[in-house]
Amino acid sequence: MILTDFFKALGQLPDPRFKRVLLLGVGLTIALLVGVYALFLMLIDWFAPGSVTIPGIGPVTWVGDLLSWGSLALMLFLSIFLMVPVASSITSLFLDDIAQAVEDKHYPHLPTVPHVGLWEGLRDTFSFLGVLIIGNIIALILLAFLPFLALPIFYGLNGYLLGREYFTLAAMRRLGRAGAQELRSRHMVQIWIAGCLMAIPLTFPLVNLLVPVLGAATFTHLFHRLNGR
């Protein structure tokens, strides 16, 4: 059933309205990755002026290498770790537009809901991002003691957090915050599995650029399916 929700989202890519949101999401994702990467190189230059050699990448200086092929490879590598918080930010900002596009196509009988305001959207963005960062700090501490469980901890934790965020944002549009939390608690296992299925492709460079928007659309379908039971 979760895969059905995903394929419905994937099948809407040719929709002009959906494609516009997708392109905006991908563009902002790339911009955030480049910005975080530039900050990363600035920190390298600050602590190690001149250049520093990274295995498999070579010498890195934050100005000279920002646009080099070596830096591109490094940025793609860092995206494995950066895309989880970036995906959280992108979804919080764009989910309302994505959900509306999905509902207009697949659930046209539903009444229109008020558009989420900019400040409310930003509040949810920073709130969920904070939870995600704290959760991953705890995961890093656990990994220091349980390195053999690195992948299960990473995917399990981020699957839970991303599933919780995506589903809550999709459900709040129709049910409000309290209603979203109640529905989420009744279907937490399925939501967690869906979150894990989204967290896995986030660790694959280039593929992960599409995940935030497709994930938001998938969880919109998931919400309507679970809410109809």
pLDDT higher than 70, residue 184:
yes
Alpha-carbon distance of 90 to 21, in angstroms, equals: 11
73 belongs to a structural domain? no
The H or E element spanning position 183 is: helix 150-186
75 belongs to a structural domain? no
Are 218 and 5 in contact, with CB atoms under 8 Å apart?
yes
Are 194 and 218 in contact, with CB atoms under 8 Å apart?
yes
Residue 153 identity (one-letter amino acid): I
Are 93 and 73 in contact, with CB atoms under 8 Å apart?
no
Are 20 and 13 in contact, with CB atoms under 8 Å apart?
no
Highest mean pLDDT among 57-66, 176-185, 200-209: 176-185
150 belongs to a structural domain? yes
Mean pLDDT of 82-103: 78
pLDDT higher than 80, residue 199:
yes
In which band, very low, low, confident or very high, does the pLDDT at 119 lie, cut at 50, 70 and 90?
low
In which band, very low, low, confident or very high, does the pLDDT at 223 lie, cut at 50, 70 and 90?
very high
33 belongs to a structural domain? no
160 belongs to a structural domain? yes
46 belongs to a structural domain? no
74 belongs to a structural domain? no
Alpha-carbon distance of 72 to 77, in angstroms, equals: 9
The H or E element spanning position 214 is: helix 211-227
Mean pLDDT of 173-189: 91
166 belongs to a structural domain? yes
Are 171 and 225 in contact, with CB atoms under 8 Å apart?
no
Ramachandran region of residue 5, left (φ > 0), alpha (ψ -120 to 50) or beta?
alpha
Please give the residue range of the domain that contains residue 142: 2-27+80-227
Tokens 């230059």, located at residue = 45
In which band, very low, low, confident or very high, does the pLDDT at 3 lie, cut at 50, 70 and 90?
confident
**Structurally, how many domains does the chain consist of?**
1
